[in-house]
Structures are given as C-alpha cells and as structure tokens.
Structure 1
C-alpha cells in the first residue's frame, strides 16, 4: 500500500472537519422512499460519507455519478447490463450510522454494495474494534440479503498515534478476509493530501479528485461485476 502523503493536512483542519461531520451526522437526510428501478438495471449502492456524497462539488462531478457513466460506457457492452449507481453518501456519516441506515438503503433493492465508511470514525478516534464491528455488521447484512460487496479502505493521519493508525488500516484487510469480499486498499489513492485534487479545505476532493476516485473504484469493481452471471 502507498502511504497517505498528508502534506499540509494539519490537525486544526481535521478538527474543523470533525466538527462539520458531527453537526451533520444525525440530520434527516431523505424523507421520501428510495425509488425502485423502473427498468431492469444492475443497481450498485455506495454507502459512504461526504467523500461519496460529493461535498463541495456538483452531483454530476461526484465519483458515484462518474462511476455510473464509466460502467455504462465501458463495461455494459461486455456484460450486457445497464448500471445504476445509488449515491448513499451522507456528510458526517460514521460506521454506526451506516448500521442504523443499512436496512433503509436496502429498500432500493441494490444488486451490489460498495461500503465506503470508517473515515469519520478514524478522525474522531473511535476505537478500531467498534468501527470494525459496525462495518462487519453491514457486510453481514449484505451477505444475508445475498448482495455481493466491495470494501473501500481508508487511511488516516497519525493524530491518535501510530498504533491506532496502523490498526485502522489493517482493519479493512481483516474485514475483507473475514467476509471474503474484495477490497480497494485506499479509496483516495493519489488524491489524499494532494492539493491539486482537493478543495481548499484539503480534505474533500475537487472534481479532478473525484475523477481519480472513480477510476480507482472502477479498477477493482469492473472485474468483480464481470464474474456475476
């Protein structure tokens, strides 16, 4: 794995981000039911936080939308499927919030889950064992519903010590093995800490950063989708 180059990512910025995350975590995000498919398309749910929601960019610039376009442009001809990506990103979302919302999101009847949570847990110093239990529960719920999953790994700065940082990164590898699901080693590969790919807060990706994330996800996701009958 490539280490996260946290150039200029100072603790004060992270504290501001955590404050933002905490304020938005428990807001009511959607009041209408998730729409179900009008025509048969392979539905991919991305359960994530502000990185997935597309904080600070337009919906069409966020990586879930770009991923959907790329799947339909490059993979549909090979698989014979049309693809619909459901953006389940919520600013401030944590792994515990994911547990509480997973059943609601499953109303969308997804055919595949990309789990992209945990980053906010790490920035808040939530015990790794607690985050791991929550993510494991989400993956288990997907398994019980016969929904294949892809786990998107995250890395965090060493604000809580090197042991915590190492254990946090290792958690995703352990979960991947435990639930026998593929894993993206680092969702923000090539984006995290790189000023040209982030908004002025140097935390959230800009449109160029989202384009790179879409490529990263596609690289792992596409081979998995090709295995599905």
Structure 2
C-alpha cells in the first residue's frame, strides 16, 4: 500500500470528479437490469454470475458500455474458458453510504444469487474528504450483508490522493487491508494500479481509465477473480 498517486494527477481532482460523475449518462447509472441484460442472463442460465458493485470506475464512465470494466472482465474470463456473466452494478458518483442504501435492492433484483461479488467503493468518499471512519463503517455494513447472504466477495481498494494530506491518507489507506483481514476476503489493493498517471491509459480528466487502461486493470484483476470462482470461500 506504499504506492502513491503521481502529484500532478491531483491538480483539480476533486472538482473534476464531482462534476464529471454528475454528467454520467443514465445507462451507466442504472442499478436495475435492462431488458438486454435480462435476455443475456436468461441465455446464460448455466454461467456463473458475478456482480460488479461499485462507482464510476465500474460503471464505465467516459467509455462505451462494451468497453467498461465489467464487460471487458466478462470477455476476458470467457476467453480463459469460464462460463461467466458479469453484471454491471456501478453507479457514477456513488459513495459508500449510497452503496449501502442500494446493496440489498440490487441483490434482490438479480435473476439468481451471484457466485461472486466484486465490491469497489470508497473513492468518492476520499475525493470529498469524508471521514474515513464513516467510509469504513459503511463498507463493513455492506460486507456484513454479503456475509449474511453467504456471498463470496473480492474487494477492490483505493488509495488516497496525495493532496488529502498524510494524516488523512494514513487513515483512509488502512481501511481496505483491515476489511480484507477481518472479513477474510481477497483484496486487490489499488484498482488504478498500473494506469493512474499514465496519459496513454487515462482519460483527459486524469481520473478515469480509457479503454486501454481498462484492459490493463482487467488483466490484473481477472486472475484473482478466476481463483475465487474456482475456489469460493
């Protein structure tokens, strides 16, 4: 967790993030499944179902839906021989509080119990300077819900931007390792690892990955997902 965001990435970060996410097309923000998704689910009844539950980094802000993280993850897993459907439940601008409020509703709206849940929230809490203790409380509440339903989880973490200060970063960055330890869930420590700060992988806002960046992230996350589909906890 020692890896830090490049300093120049942070210039205007919070303003861009909050402004950009509020303009996200409705198709990226829809938590409920679309008719097309329902048809795909029906045709993939035997496939393992993965719920990607997160914010704009999952939703696919600034890229086409067939270039989003859940779509590309599904394509990669299928190429590796897995019969998998990845349901995109990312909502741009989502905080941990918002995620907690919609988690049960989202799970109840699925066609069946998911075989794995990818949980990736907290970045917007950090960018808004929200108390890390509240973010952790909300994430723990979500993990409690998932544990009660006996759903395996892979947690994807976030790191605090340098302009948040060392004291804030120390508190925020400690959240995800603590959750992984306490709930015994696998952790991918930093969702933007390998792409943040590199213009060839990032959109002009320097916050969201472009399609090439999404591919890099998927390449890093997919093996962890495959391991946990093969050997669910």
| TM-score, normalised with respect to structure 1 | 0.89
Pick the aligned partner of 1:131 from 135, 143, 160.
Answer: 135
Report runs of 4+ in structure 1 exceeding 3 Å deviation.
19-24, 28-37
**d(CA) in 2 for partners of 1:51 and 1:32?**
18
**Residues 93-172 of structure 1: matches in 2 within 5 Å?**
93-106=94-107, 107-108=109-110, 109-172=113-176
Q: Which residue of 1 aligns with 2:73?
A: 67
Q: 1:31 to 1:224 in 2, by over 3 A?
A: closer
**Residues 41-52 of structure 1: matches in 2 within 5 Å?**
41-52=47-58
Q: Deviations over 1:117-140 (max 9, x none)?
A: 000000011111100011111111
**d(CA) in 2 for partners of 1:141 and 1:166?**
27
**d(CA) in 1 for partners of 2:191 and 2:168?**
19
Q: 1:219 to 1:4 in 2, by over 3 A?
A: farther
Q: Deviations over 1:52-105 (max 9, x none)?
A: 1111111111121111011111142xxxxx100011111100100110110121
**d(CA) in 2 for partners of 1:9 and 1:31?**
30
SS across alignment from 1:120: helix
Deviation at 1:33, TM superposition (A): 5.3
Deviation at 1:172, TM superposition (A): 0.1
> Is the 1:116–1:153 Cα contact (8 Å) retained in structure 2?
yes
> Is the 1:68–1:83 Cα contact (8 Å) retained in structure 2?
yes
> Is the 1:46–1:86 Cα contact (8 Å) retained in structure 2?
yes
Q: 1:200 to 1:189 in 2, by over 3 A?
A: same
Is residue 79 of structure 2 the alignment partner of residue 84 of structure 1? no
> Is the 1:75–1:222 Cα contact (8 Å) retained in structure 2?
no
Deviates more, 1:31-40 or 1:151-160: 31-40
RMSD of equivalent CA atoms: 2.3
**d(CA) in 1 for partners of 2:217 and 2:59?**
13
Alignment gaps of 5+ in structure 1: 77-81
> Is the 1:111–1:148 Cα contact (8 Å) retained in structure 2?
yes
> Is the 2:95–2:124 Cα contact (8 Å) retained in structure 1?
yes
Deviates more, 1:101-110 or 1:144-153: 101-110
**d(CA) in 1 for partners of 2:139 and 2:178?**
11
| TM-score, normalised with respect to structure 2 | 0.87
How many residues in Structure 1 have an aligned counterpart in Structure 2?
223
> Is the 1:184–1:217 Cα contact (8 Å) retained in structure 2?
yes
SS across alignment from 1:9: helix
